[in-house]
Structure 1
């Protein structure tokens, strides 16, 4: 099927021409004359309408033979899973993003969702324009592209972080997907500044985001000895005493992005850390849909007008959320934090 038919072409045209960041990740623009696909916020001059095809996902554009744009960098686009129809697709997509298909076949993914492999394939093509395997392959490729662009990690470490067990397979897949060798892309970019031995990654979101208020919420509930939350940053220690990793999250003052700084990190842990940080700060939320639904209630509509960037803070993992819930029963937030400090000690 032509996956472009599922999109509102007129709405995509308006969002693309306005470079509206609220539609970032909701669709991708493929340009037949150049063979590349872009985010709606791409700063390049607008192509001629007759050369454009819209796709609902980066994987759909990649499956059609297009390469990711080097200017707008589709790997930075936030996920748009809130806009998908059906819980089965959302659950399967979350598992894919969590690395489920790294070691297991699509048939196992379908069984976990409660569908046949054929049904799952059909739903993915219908809503995302690509099969689960193509979604997984594009996700790995775009992660590798981001690491090559924003870090100084050796190419071998980039391949491991993106889930490639063979450097030869990685080089082949990258050349096919991006039209150049990994080392050629690396030479074109200067990574963001970081402390010695660390790296910084850009995490995009669809605006608005009330980052100070998010930090204030998390600060009141921070785990002493694990989290340190200042006025403009979130810090957390991971790993063991023998090999700790420190992460720091700050907001970009000019773009709808957060900066994730990591020190002494095992490259294989980067994808999981990125997923968790995006969940904690609810970076994949589509506030247009949230506001449209909640604004039907007058009281909530006033609240949205006053605080349009509020999001739902997430937890680092299920076990931690469960412990917090138990410790916080029938006591104040301050008392629960005291209990948590004792438990951490």
Structure 2
């Protein structure tokens, strides 16, 4: 985000600029409430204080606004293009949430000193990694308190607190209410047995139709079911499985997630993964204004199981989508595990594929070798699927695998590592759009993964089962 004066920030607030939603927050000195830039509240300019993060606002003694709900709204993970340390660290924290990773451990993973990490966080977010994590825990607990009927103690532990006393103290500091008080008068959703429904706020517009269409075309046999209305996935649980289904509530600007068979302590990591699958943190106002006319709300589909997705991307090289999903189904049936009699499968693990005779499903030796190679590297933890990865280093690792070229690498970077600028420039539809000057690549710099999906969405009527992938 470019350097702005205090007057610039106040102007952003007064015009309710959605471009900055998730990038900054403002507090009101007279009420000690903090809000998103798009909040309908109209504070006097002289009473506005700017904060770089939710944690910074709460550290200053502000509580979340009940109108714009900044505590439950998504925050942008790409706060400043090129500021890689914060992006990587926030994503690493997400991937272990609600577990506490020391600042020394995070800094070592990032290859910097703990002192430098503290300085960068203070400069860009106005809060330390520990303060950011504490805020996330409190907000997640509030989410569960409002939308489930689980006990306060169970929610406290599921949110990463090790003591009820500390949870109550932290919650009361953030909200000026106890957990029980914030629940009073709120109608949490009814759920029976192990069924729960939770909502995930999104930033509109959101093109749910296109993301479902993409996931439907690439659905994994026995694992995913996708219709024009919902996405459903079976998740292995020991020798059984749990299921979640995602739909959209456009009136509330939220994804609705119906869960069955999950334990409460699984929900924090599960919701983060689902959020990535549906690109929940993205703010569509960060894209060129020309994208909003034909296909507003473009998102980049992520993945639930990155190894599964990486294998499916290799299988999709230079064949039709129908052929690719057919081979994926054959691989799942031959090497996966059946979880029940209804054709529900567990995707084969890296150790099962790294020495397997994958050619027997009817693919080339080159593809089979590439799958075995990436399976071995993942098993040996030489490649770790993480949104906190060093993108440049990861690209080199993938390109070094025989049978994995630039197109495959960029699709993996886009879907398995969350790189917003991943760009499969050799893709057939991308080449055609650029040749016809349908898009201006320069306008999409730092967000070319979104340009790619924007082009695919425009061309999706041509993405029939008989068409080849790029």
Map residues 167-206 of structure 1 onto 2, 5 A cutoff: 167-192=164-189, 197-206=194-203
Aligned-residue offset at 1:14: 4.8
Which range moves more in the overlay, 233-242 or 134-143?
Answer: 233-242
- 1:273–1:105 CA distance, 2 compared to 1 (3 A): same
Conserved 8 A contact 2:98-2:137? no
Conserved 8 A contact 2:98-2:160? no
Give the whole-Å Cα distance in 2 for the aligned partners of 1:142 and 1:190. 18
Partner of 1:160: 157
Aligned-residue offset at 1:167: 2.0
Give the whole-Å Cα distance in 1 for the aligned partners of 2:102 and 2:123. 20
- 1:34–1:94 CA distance, 2 compared to 1 (3 A): same
- 1:327–1:134 CA distance, 2 compared to 1 (3 A): same
Give the whole-Å Cα distance in 2 for the aligned partners of 1:209 and 1:275. 18
Map residues 1-345 of structure 1 onto 2, 5 A cutoff: 9-10=6-7, 12-19=9-16, 21-43=18-40, 45-84=41-80, 85-99=82-96, 102-192=99-189, 197-240=194-237, 242-291=239-288, 301=290, 305-345=293-333
- Superimposed CA distance per residue, residues 61-84 of structure 1 (whole angstroms, 9 cap, x where no aligned partner): 012121223343222221212222
- 1:7–1:243 CA distance, 2 compared to 1 (3 A): farther
Larger Rg: 2
- 1:243–1:167 CA distance, 2 compared to 1 (3 A): farther
Give the whole-Å Cα distance in 2 for the aligned partners of 1:163 and 1:248. 25
Give the whole-Å Cα distance in 1 for the aligned partners of 2:285 and 2:21. 12
Tell me the secondary structure at the aligned position of residue 71 of structure 2.
helix
Give the whole-Å Cα distance in 2 for the aligned partners of 1:186 and 1:166. 20
Tell me the secondary structure at the aligned position of residue 231 of structure 1.
coil
- 1:96–1:8 CA distance, 2 compared to 1 (3 A): farther
Structure 1 portions without partners, runs of 5+: 293-300
- Superimposed CA distance per residue, residues 228-264 of structure 1 (whole angstroms, 9 cap, x where no aligned partner): 1111111111132655221111111213221122122
Aligned length: 331
- 1:22–1:33 CA distance, 2 compared to 1 (3 A): same
Conserved 8 A contact 1:24-1:77? no
CA RMSD of aligned residues (A): 2.4
Higher relative contact order (CA 8 A, sep 6+): 1
Conserved 8 A contact 1:194-1:261? no
- Superimposed CA distance per residue, residues 131-189 of structure 1 (whole angstroms, 9 cap, x where no aligned partner): 11111111111111111112212212211221112222212211222221111111131
- 1:14–1:254 CA distance, 2 compared to 1 (3 A): farther
TM-score by length of 2: 0.65
Give the whole-Å Cα distance in 2 for the aligned partners of 1:234 and 1:8. 44
- Superimposed CA distance per residue, residues 255-285 of structure 1 (whole angstroms, 9 cap, x where no aligned partner): 3221122122211111111111111111212
Conserved 8 A contact 1:23-1:206? no
- 1:239–1:41 CA distance, 2 compared to 1 (3 A): farther
Conserved 8 A contact 1:97-1:139? no
- Superimposed CA distance per residue, residues 287-314 of structure 1 (whole angstroms, 9 cap, x where no aligned partner): 333326xxxxxxxx4x653212222111
TM-score by length of 1: 0.87
Conserved 8 A contact 1:74-1:142? no
Conserved 8 A contact 2:10-2:48? no
Give the whole-Å Cα distance in 2 for the aligned partners of 1:157 and 1:306. 46
- 1:23–1:252 CA distance, 2 compared to 1 (3 A): farther
Partner of 1:296: none
Conserved 8 A contact 1:76-1:202? no
Structure 2 portions without partners, runs of 5+: 334-470
